[in-house]
Amino acid sequence: DRPLLEVKGLKKYFPVRGALGTTVQEVKAVNDVTFTLKRGETFGMVGESGCGKSTLGRTILRLTEPTEGQAIYDGRDVFDMTDAQLKAARQDMQMVFQDPFSSLNPRKRIGAILEEPLVIHGIGTAQERTEKVLDILTRVGLQAEHYYRYPHEFSGGQRQRIGIARALMVDPRLIVCDEPVSALDVSIHSQIINLLKQLQAEFGLTYLFIAHDISIVRYISDRIGVMYLGQMVEQAATDDLFAAPKHTHTQALLSAVPVTQPGARKERVVLGGEIPSPLDPPSGCVFHTRCPMATELCKQKAPARREITEGHHVACHLY
Ligand code: SF4
Ligand code: MG
């Protein structure tokens, strides 16, 4: 069974311009990331803010052009697509954004906001489009009467439901969810996450779920990739990752999560240093300035990614 998406050696560098417009440096926002998305699964991408997760999501959908690598969607490289092919693929690959407030046009009624993707893709008659909007509104937990309302009339959670509804309008197979709850009040996080889970089952969706909160990622994801300074340092099935985290960065992320089972053992892994500037990443292993296990080798040589048990990949000299 062919994966829905195969990302191979993806790099996205941003040039940083100095005085007089000369390119002085590059930010390696995404640096050689490889992973696959199986059909119907949720792949969680976790890491501190600024680690490149959002850029990775945007690059896969080609909202920004890659520097190098491939993103093979259903057998075809997104980065080789013509404009017409890309438009068709965009119908299949949607995005839910972190901030539903700024992604909704304040001057448009919800009905028009939701209908827009259908108009762009030339789908259905006016009546069919209206029916689709009403159907999707109820599926995301809103009501038909919301059709004529404006974004400012909704709460944050309702606005994110609208953002999710808009992504669903064109019957996508893949949705990139970029921190879909982090702008919302904590009290409604589980409502939105459970809605995403329910819609996934209903529509057979595949999710790339990006977040900095590993508890949320754990709750929704079948597999997890851990990012640090543009690199995916570890990836594994969710249970494997939590049972036996290998990379020190993963161990530190997990050890910061409160223990829920009584008697569960827990040693806090505390990191030294601060997150280095992506403009000046460390030599060798990008994590060595913070890793309590770092050796001389780590400063000099970048570790290769290895599969240590089936489906469990880690980039660290210890393995
Ligand atoms: Fe730590 Fe070295 Fe492993 Fe990097 S390669 S995570 S510095 S032990
Ligand atoms: Mg982000």
**pLDDT for the residue numbered 266:** 62
Angle between helices 189-203 and 156-168 (to 10 degrees): 20
φ/ψ of residue 46, rounded to 5: -125, 150
Question: Which of 234, 295, 314 has most ligand 1 atoms within 8 Å of CB, for mutation?
Answer: 295
Question: Which of 250, 298, 319 has most ligand 1 atoms within 8 Å of CB, for mutation?
Answer: 298
Question: Which of 226, 269, 288, 295 has most ligand 1 atoms within 8 Å of CB, for mutation?
Answer: 288
**Per residue in 104-142, pLDDT tens?**
899 999 999 999 999 999 999 999 999 999 999 999 999
Residue 263 has pLDDT above 70, yes or no: no
**What atom of ligand 1 comes closest to residue 295's alpha carbon?**
2
Which alpha helices (DSSP H) does the chain contain, by range?
A: 53-60, 83-92, 110-120, 126-139, 156-168, 189-203, 214-220, 238-243, 248-255, 296-300
Closest Cα to residue 9, out of 74, 50, 47, 66?
A: 66
Ligand 2 centroid–CA 199 distance in Å is 23
What proportion of the chain, given as a percentage, has pLDDT over 90?
83
What ipTM did this prediction achieve? 0.96
Residue 156 has pLDDT above 80, yes or no: yes
pLDDT tier, 154 (very low <50, low <70, confident <90, very high otherwise): very high
- Is this model's pTM higher than 0.90 or not? yes
Tell me which ligand sits closest to the C-alpha of residue 315. 1
**Per residue in 209-257, pLDDT tens?**
999 999 999 999 999 999 999 999 999 999 999 999 999 999 999 987 7
pLDDT tier, 57 (very low <50, low <70, confident <90, very high otherwise): very high
**Integer angstrom CA distances of residue 47 from 44, 56, 191:** 10, 12, 23
CA 91 – CA 34 distance, rounded (Å): 24
318 lines ligand 1 (CB under 6 A): yes
Q: What is the DSSP letter of 183?
A: T
**Per residue in 281-295, pLDDT tens?**
899 999 999 999 999
**pLDDT for the residue numbered 277:** 82
Lowest mean pLDDT among 10-14, 238-242, 260-264: 260-264
Residue 261 has pLDDT above 70, yes or no: no
Please return the burial class of 82, using the count of CB atoms within 10 Å of its CB with bins 0-12, 13-18 and 19+: exposed
Tell me which ligand sits closest to the C-alpha of residue 303. 1
Residue 259 has pLDDT above 80, yes or no: no
Tell me which ligand sits closest to the C-alpha of residue 47. 2
Residue 168 has pLDDT above 90, yes or no: yes
Helices (H) and strands (E) in the chain, counts: 10, 12
Mean pLDDT of the chain: 93
pLDDT tier, 264 (very low <50, low <70, confident <90, very high otherwise): low
